[in-house]
Chain A
Amino acid sequence: MQDEKAFIEALLNPKTQRSAFQELVSQYQRPLYAHIRNLVLNHDDADDVLQNTFIKVYKNLNGFKGESKLFSWMYRIATNEALTFLQQKSKRFQTTSEEYLQQQTEKMQADDYFDGDEIQLKLQKAIALLPEKQQLVFKMKYFEELKYEEISEILGTTVGGLKASYHIAVKKIEEYLSHD
């Protein structure tokens, strides 16, 4: 988006809201899908969460104060939706969200929408063993290549804390990949 301020105004104006929202979906559907898919792992779940995210974004447009970037605001909604989804799923299976994701990685080889090789599958299994926050930070930094400042704005955590979480996560993953 070249001129974010003008675009936000178009999103808030009832006359232009619909067409601006259409453009928003078109611009953000791929990066948001990738973000959500990294968190929930399964395509069907990612599809549900992504649609809910966009619906929530549309319903809350009037509540967007412009204090953060539109990108950060949408990523925050997507992250919250994905984490809530994982909590609900794990609650249904009477387990933790980490254990639920570990179970999901075990099913990955049979998933039609996963075509990763051995190292990719191993990396997914290594990530699933991390605590939820370290998983989140690692995925956003390593896969999505977001800057620490951007992650900080999305998650509301300090850059220092994020760096520490990422460093620990990388060490654990490298250890898992080297030995198992």
Chain B
Amino acid sequence: MNPIDLHKHPKIKPGFKVPKNYFDELESKILGQLETEEPKVIQLKSYRKYWFSAVAAVVILAVSIPLYQNWKINSTPLDNESIEQYLSYHPNVYTEDIISHLDDSDVISLQKKQSLESETIEKYLLENEMIEQYLID
């Protein structure tokens, strides 16, 4: 075979064929693909609405839970036993403090409940010398 010089030889084309109407349909095919690939635009506004609702719900919960707890504690009536227990475990609460909160009706009520026998009183007075000073005062 004779040597071939590609630049002197008539141009050799690639030899490829294209299906009929290929380029007529290609444009619409590509543009169609863009439409299906383009993400749907969701308005930020609706997201904002959900965000506001969520934040409002969290704030309401954050405020109402401590309020409810506080209300629950305050609304529970204290029984005498609980008060006695509290006082016995808190030595910094002095008898004077308690007395200062008593009114006449409380004193009468205590007198009725605490009917001490005279023997017990005498024994107490003998053991507590300081009481004399109190009586004088």
The answer on a CB contact under 8 Å between A116 and B14 is: yes
B2 close to A (CB within 8 Å): yes
Provide the residues of chain B in CB contact with A119, threshold 8 Å: 12
The answer on a CB contact under 8 Å between A179 and B1 is: yes
Knowing that A58-B34, A177-B6 are A-B contacts, what are 8 other residue pairs whose CB atoms are under 8 Å apart, sorted by A's residue number? A22-B27, A25-B27, A29-B23, A37-B14, A55-B30, A114-B15, A120-B15, A170-B6
A163 close to B (CB within 8 Å): no
User: In chain A, residues 84-129, which have Cβ atoms closer than 8 Å to a Cβ of chain B?
Assistant: 112-117, 119-121, 123-124
Count of A interface residues, CB-CB < 8 Å: 36
Size class of the B contact interface (CB-based, 8 Å): 20 to 34
Provide the residues of chain A in CB contact with B77, threshold 8 Å: none
- Complex Cα distance, B4 from A178, in Å, reads 6
A78 close to B (CB within 8 Å): no
A-B CB proximity, top 6 nearest: A116-B15, A120-B15, A113-B17, A177-B4, A178-B3, A54-B30
B31 close to A (CB within 8 Å): yes
Provide the residues of chain B in CB contact with A55, threshold 8 Å: 30, 33-34, 37
Provide the residues of chain A in CB contact with B33, threshold 8 Å: 51, 55
Provide the residues of chain B in CB contact with A115, threshold 8 Å: 15, 17
Nearest residue (CB) in B for A176 is: B4
B132 close to A (CB within 8 Å): no
The answer on a CB contact under 8 Å between A174 and B4 is: yes
The distance from the CB of B35 to the nearest CB of chain A, in whole angstroms, is 10
Select which of A29, A114, A170, A179 is within 8 A of B27 by beta carbon.
Answer: A29
B49 close to A (CB within 8 Å): no
Select which of A34, A113, A120, A178 is within 8 A of B2 by beta carbon.
Answer: A178
B16 close to A (CB within 8 Å): yes
The distance from the CB of B133 to the nearest CB of chain A, in whole angstroms, is 97
A173 close to B (CB within 8 Å): yes
The distance from the CB of A105 to the nearest CB of chain B, in whole angstroms, is 11
Nearest residue (CB) in B for A139 is: B14
The answer on a CB contact under 8 Å between B18 and A33 is: yes
The answer on a CB contact under 8 Å between A124 and B3 is: no
B96 close to A (CB within 8 Å): no
B113 close to A (CB within 8 Å): no
The distance from the CB of B82 to the nearest CB of chain A, in whole angstroms, is 73
B101 close to A (CB within 8 Å): no
Provide the residues of chain B in CB contact with A43, threshold 8 Å: 16-19
